[in-house]
Amino acid sequence: MSTEASAELLSFDGLVCGYGDTMVLRGLSGAVGPGRVLGVLGRNGVGKTTLMRALAGFLPLRQGSVTFGGRDLARVAPHQRLGLGLAYAPQEDVVFGDLSVQENLWLHLDDRDPARYADCLAMFPRLNERLAQRAGSLSGGERKLLSFTRTIGLRAALSILDEPTEGVQPENIDRMAAVVRRRKAEGASFVIVEQNLEFLLAVADDLMAIDHGECLLKGEAAQFGREALESHLMV
């Protein structure tokens, strides 16, 4: 492995995958280093969620590879990836609706150390007020906040977030950005799919724009003008 590759926490190379006979990703490659955020943008239906599902292990690859910490994940199941330090918050089905907010937070954890979620619950007091409430009765934005809080609380080396701000109130989006920046300062990494360009620019170090499963733009976020980025979000 090259020196450059060894500095990457997550890398994906030549990904080809999809659903049935339809290949959605067509040779997509990228990487994210420690303490960095890779933002992925593009119009609806161009393959962003497919990429997230492939990285998290929920969609098999036809071609290509995903490595995490230098380890090939080809034979690593999704639940095992969490054990390696890779967490995933999907765009849909983000909470277990029949469980309480508190049960959602602790479901995958053996310890009940309140410090794990203290910062996020302080940031999002409405969640703290609803710990005993059934998660399925929360608003769509509140369910997103619960999913975000649960993922952050896992304190994974890498978190994959698919449209985390969808339906979330603007003041809470700002707080989510602050949480991501704090975790990044602690050395955590993220891959974030997002339509909210303000949020993405507030947290991303690197950007990738995709269309029809192929990369149209890739590089450090600071090098791209806003208009160029907005053009990749237009229908």
User: 2-5 contacts: CB < 8 A, separation 24 or more?
Assistant: 5/70
pLDDT at 112: 84
Distance of CA 155 to the CA centre of its chain: 13
Is the Cβ–Cβ distance between 120 and 172 less than 8 Å?
no
pLDDT at 226: 81
Q: What is the residue-level pLDDT of the chain in tens, covering all 235 positions?
A: 333 444 789 999 999 999 988 899 999 999 999 999 999 999 888 899 999 999 999 999 999 999 999 999 999 999 999 999 999 999 988 899 999 999 999 987 888 888 899 999 999 999 999 999 999 999 999 999 999 999 999 999 999 999 999 999 999 999 999 999 999 999 999 999 999 999 999 999 999 999 989 999 999 999 988 877 887 775 4
Nearest alpha-carbon partner for 148 in 68, 88, 63, 216: 88
- List, edge to edge, every strand of the sheet that includes 71-72: 22-32, 10-19, 63-68, 71-72
Residues 6+ apart with CB under 8 A from 73: 57, 65, 66, 67, 81
pLDDT at 109: 85
pLDDT at 6: 45
Residues 6+ apart with CB under 8 A from 123: 172, 175, 178, 179
Query: How is residue 52 written in tokens?
Result: 């997230």
Domain segments of the chain: what residues?
Answer: 3-94+154-230
Q: Which fold has domain 3-94+154-230?
A: Rossmann fold (3.40.50)
